[in-house]
């Protein structure tokens, strides 16, 4: 399984290198006051959402999946490799985001807890999307699953907007939340997304066990 | 000598094709060539062996282990080369060490690098810069580096030039010097199998129509060339299949010496694997005339 995690990092190393350069660039500009931390946070979210899907695309292009099934690994281990890759990616982008927040708070450009809270919420939301996209990629393949990325990303926001507009959902309570409650809410979002990742893993295992190559 | 592959009563059905009652035994120390036209069931058989698809019926034993119940243990002793290189263009041959070493407990980095040197594959170049021949040699190096007992190759030599094919065939012959090793290779290139294989299994429309030692096939089978008039004089049971053309007919006999004695006026040549494939695949039974 560790070999498969290595494989994802090695296949994506060029992209990863580029993304890290971009992140450092954004961070540098944020430290200079050209951008605020939102750029770094957004880029972390993009990395977390895009790279796992890119890994599926590269595998499909190389026709790796069929070969992977010939290795002495169970389908659970093969799927587990991809999920651990996602978790490691989450840790890396979370660490980069946290370091950025600390650096910006030291220069006085941003409030540390506010920045960390925003990071948590953004990564949690991104992880929710990944939770849905991974089984879809296993089921449909990256080509057919791609349109769902837009649906999964935007539909919840459109739905929330419509419900709020139609006075079915009252979101005004968000304005009354205390800072501590907001941070707790953000942590809950990330923890729920992590629990979702476990459910997503089980679904993906079931999908791959039934799949023929 | 143990059997490296044993298949009994393998069946797999698709809406437009079915693999029917495949029985196959690959003894250790031998190479078996799996031949047959496109869509005959060669790849389906290999996929069933590797459990890439679910079979409908039958039993498959790999290196003495059931390929479903002991799948991982069975696959640990198998090296697989598929019809195309499955390693990503963005990888380098050296990267495969990091990927495959944790997968195979018996992976040998030294052996892998020896193969890279032997096949003249630059370890630090991107795989996307490799020719098809280099990619297939890389696949073979990766398949051999964990010291497997059994090699399974699905059309691995297709599209390669004769020099590369010869190099790969030499490696196969080295591999089976060990009596515990065996190779199952599906191929359209019958000349390669005539050089290297010990057994030939011919699949036609999802059934095994021939499974015999290669030497026995090449020594005994014969291709009979004759006119339509001559053909009428041949007893139906004496030819397995016949093909009728504008300028004459040809038939396949399973014992050319016996046939020659019975019909001294007819020309009987040794049949190549290609002749056997063509006559069985495209020919018809003499009895239907």
Residue pLDDT, tens place only, A52-72? 999 999 999 999 999 999 999
pLDDT band at A201 (very low <50, low <70, confident <90, very high): very high
Per-residue DSSP letter, A149: H
Intervals of chain B under pLDDT 70: 1, 287-289
Per-residue DSSP letter, A178: -
Contact B71, B50 (CB under 8 A): no
Contact A58, A11 (CB under 8 A): yes
CA A156 to chain CA centroid, Å, is 16
pLDDT for the residue numbered B246: 81
Q: To probe the interface with A, which of B15, B19, B49, B52 has the most A CB atoms within 10 Å?
A: B52
User: Tens digits of per-residue pLDDT, A134-160?
Assistant: 999 999 999 999 888 888 888 888 888
Most confident residue range from A31-35, A42-46, B199-203: B199-203
pLDDT band at A166 (very low <50, low <70, confident <90, very high): confident
Cα–Cα dist A120/B157, whole Å = 52
pLDDT for the residue numbered B217: 93
pLDDT at A43 over 70: yes
pTM of the shown model: 0.88
Enumerate the residues of chain B whose CB falls inside 8 A of the CB of residue A61: 88-89
Choose the closest CB to B99 out of A6, A14, A58. Answer: A6
| Residue B99 to residue A70, Cβ atoms within 8 A | no
| Residue A73 to residue B51, Cβ atoms within 8 A | no
pLDDT for the residue numbered B1: 60
Per-residue DSSP letter, A170: -
Enumerate the residues of chain A whose CB falls inside 8 A of the CB of residue B127: none
Q: What residues form DSSP beta bridges with B211?
A: B201
| Residue A72 to residue B73, Cβ atoms within 8 A | yes
pLDDT for the residue numbered B289: 46
pLDDT for the residue numbered B230: 85
Flag whether residue A144 sits within 8 Å of chain B, measured between CB atoms.
no
Among A96, A86, A97, residue whose Cα is nearest residue A121:
A97
Enumerate the residues of chain A whose CB falls inside 8 A of the CB of residue B100: 3, 71
pLDDT for the residue numbered B157: 84
pLDDT at A171 over 80: no
When pLDDT is averaged across residues A17-44 and rounded to a whole number, the result is 87
Enumerate the residues of chain B whose CB falls inside 8 A of the CB of residue A72: 71-76, 103-104
Cα–Cα dist B24/B15, whole Å = 24
User: Tens digits of per-residue pLDDT, A81-118?
Assistant: 999 999 999 999 999 989 988 888 888 877 888 888 88
Enumerate the residues of chain A whose CB falls inside 8 A of the CB of residue B73: 72
Say if residue A201 is exposed, middle or buried (CB neighbours under 10 Å; 0-12, 13-18, 19+): buried
pLDDT at A164 over 90: no
CA A102 to chain CA centroid, Å, is 21
Flag whether residue A6 sits within 8 Å of chain B, measured between CB atoms.
yes
Q: To probe the interface with B, which of A2, A3, A18, A59 has the most B CB atoms within 10 Å?
A: A3
Among B99, B245, B77, B117, residue whose Cα is nearest residue A2:
B99
């Amino acid at each position: 399984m560790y070999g498969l995690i290595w494989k994802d990092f090695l296949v994506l190393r060029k992209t990863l290198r580029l993304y890290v350069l971009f992140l450092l660039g954004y961070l540098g500009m944020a430290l200079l006051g050209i951008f605020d931390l939102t750029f770094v946070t957004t880029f972390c979210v993009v990395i977390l959402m895009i790279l796992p899907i890119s890994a599926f695309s590269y595998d499909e292009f190389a026709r790796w999946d069929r070969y992977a099934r010939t290795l002495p690994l169970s389908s659970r281990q093969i799927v587990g490799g991809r999920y651990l890759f996602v978790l490691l990616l989450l840790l890396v982008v979370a660490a980069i985001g946290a370091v950025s927040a600390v650096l910006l708070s030291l220069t006085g450009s941003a409030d540390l807890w506010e920045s960390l809270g925003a990071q948590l919420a953004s990564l949690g939301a991104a992880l929710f999307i990944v939770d849905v996209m991974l089984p879809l990629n296993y089921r449909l393949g990256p080509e057919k699953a791609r349109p769902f990325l837009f649906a999964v990303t935007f539909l919840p926001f459109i739905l929330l907007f419509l419900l709020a507009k139609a006075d079915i959902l009252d979101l005004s309570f968000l304005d009354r939340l205390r800072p501590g409650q907001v941070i707790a809410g953000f942590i809950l979002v990330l923890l729920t997304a992590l629990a979702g990742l476990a459910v997503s893993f089980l679904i993906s295992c079931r999908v791959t066990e039934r799949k023929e190559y | 000598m143990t059997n490296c592959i044993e298949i009994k009563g393998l069946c797999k059905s698709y809406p437009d094709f079915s693999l029917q009652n495949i029985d196959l035994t690959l003894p250790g120390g031998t190479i078996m060539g799996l031949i047959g036209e496109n869509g005959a069931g060669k790849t389906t058989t290999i996929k069933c062996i590797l459990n890439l698809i679910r079979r409908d019926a039958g039993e498959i034993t790999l290196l003495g282990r059931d390929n479903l119940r002991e799948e991982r243990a069975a696959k640990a002793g198998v090296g697989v080369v598929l019809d195309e290189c499955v390693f990503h263009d963005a990888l380098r041959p050296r990267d495969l060490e990091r990927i495959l070493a944790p997968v195979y407990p018996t992976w040998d980095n030294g052996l892998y690098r020896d193969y890279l040197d032997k096949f003249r594959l630059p370890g630090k170049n991107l795989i996307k810069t490799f020719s098809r021949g280099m990619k297939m040699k890389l696949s073979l190096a990766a398949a051999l580096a964990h010291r497997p007992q059994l090699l399974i190759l699905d059309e691995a030599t297709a599209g390669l030039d004769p020099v590369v094919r010869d190099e790969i065939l030499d490696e196969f012959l080295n591999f089976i010097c060990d009596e515990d090793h065996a190779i199952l290779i599906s191929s359209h290139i019958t000349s390669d199998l005539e050089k290297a294989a010990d057994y030939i299994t011919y699949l036609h429309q999802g059934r095994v129509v021939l499974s015999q030692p290669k030497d026995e096939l090449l020594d005994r089978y014969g291709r009979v060339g004759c006119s339509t008039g001559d053909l009428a004089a041949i007893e139906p049971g004496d030819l397995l299949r016949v093909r009728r053309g504008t300028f004459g007919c040809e038939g396949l006999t399973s014992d050319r010496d016996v046939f020659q004695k019975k019909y001294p006026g007819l020309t009987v040549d040794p049949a190549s694997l290609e002749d056997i494939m063509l006559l069985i695949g495209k020919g018809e039974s003499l009895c239907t005339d």
